[in-house]
Every structure is written in C-alpha cells, then in structure tokens.
Amino acid sequence: MTDRVEIEAPLDSAYQGVIRLIVGGIAEQAAFGFEAMDDLQLAIERLLAETGGDGRVQISFEVDDGHVRTRIGPLREQRLADALQQSDGETGTLSLRRILSTVVDSYGVEEAEDGQIVIRMEKLGTPLS
C-alpha cells in the first residue's frame, strides 16, 4: 500500500533541519537503511539550497516499503531546470545534476502553471539489516 505525505514549508534555511527530520521519518517508514536515508536527505537539501531561499515550497512523498517518490514545487527557479538538464561540465565539479545522479535513482523536471517547475525524484532504498 502506498502512503502519501504532503508538507509545505518556508524555503528559509532556518527550516532545513525541520525538513531533514521529516525526510528521515519518511525514509524510516519506507524501511530505508542509513545510507539510503542520507542520500534522500542530501538530494532534497541540495535542491532546496539551490532555490535561493525565498518563499515557500510544497513537498510530497509517496511511500512504499523500500521506495519513495518525491515531488518538490512549484518552484520559480528555471535555473534549477537548466542545471538539471545541462552536462556536468568540468570533471570534479559537484553540480546539482551530478549530486542527484549519484544519490537518487531517477529525477526529472515537470512544467507547472505560470512558468514554474516541479522537480520529481525517486529513491529505492537498501533495507535495514
């Protein structure tokens, strides 16, 4: 059975710890091991850090045993969409695209209304031992 969890939070960096705590709880519900939980937290934190910190964000999670789908948005940051679609550039550069390619199983960009975007990510977990 798939559970759905939705939150809305300020993009202000003061709330990053709260969002990290919620993501940790979501990962626990999906029976993720520590590394999978940390990967999901890192992906969401880095993505939110790239938004510039103004306004609010909606984050939704679809949670199954060993599987989490996440949607973040709508966001006004077209540069996020551009950063996720362009090549990685120089070797050794920690671009947003490179980080997400490393820590989540898939990600993509969807257009929302008024030129905004929604970032979707999917993470398969390594079960707790």
Tell me the per-residue pLDDT of 1-15, one tens digit each, with 9 for 90 and over: 789 999 999 988 889
**How many residues can be counted in the chain?**
129
Answer yes or no: is 29 within a domain.
yes
Answer yes or no: is 129 within a domain.
no
Domain containing residue 32: CATH number: 3.30.565.10
φ/ψ of residue 77, rounded to 5: -85, 90
* pLDDT, position 126: 67
- Quote the mean pLDDT of the chain: 86
Answer yes or no: is 81 within a domain.
yes
State what percent of residues in the chain have pLDDT above 70.
90
Tell me which DSSP letter residue 32 carries.
B
Number of domains in the chain: 1
CA 129 to chain centre: 25
Burial class (CB within 10 angstroms; exposed 0-12, middle 13-18, buried 19+) of 35: exposed
Answer yes or no: is 34 within a domain.
yes
Which uninterrupted H or E stretch holds 90?
A: none
- Give the range of the structural domain holding residue 89, as residue numbers without chain letter: 3-124
pTM across the whole model? 0.86
pLDDT band (50, 70, 90) for residue 127 = low
Tell me the per-residue pLDDT of 61-93, one tens digit each, with 9 for 90 and over.
999 888 999 999 988 877 777 777 766 555 556
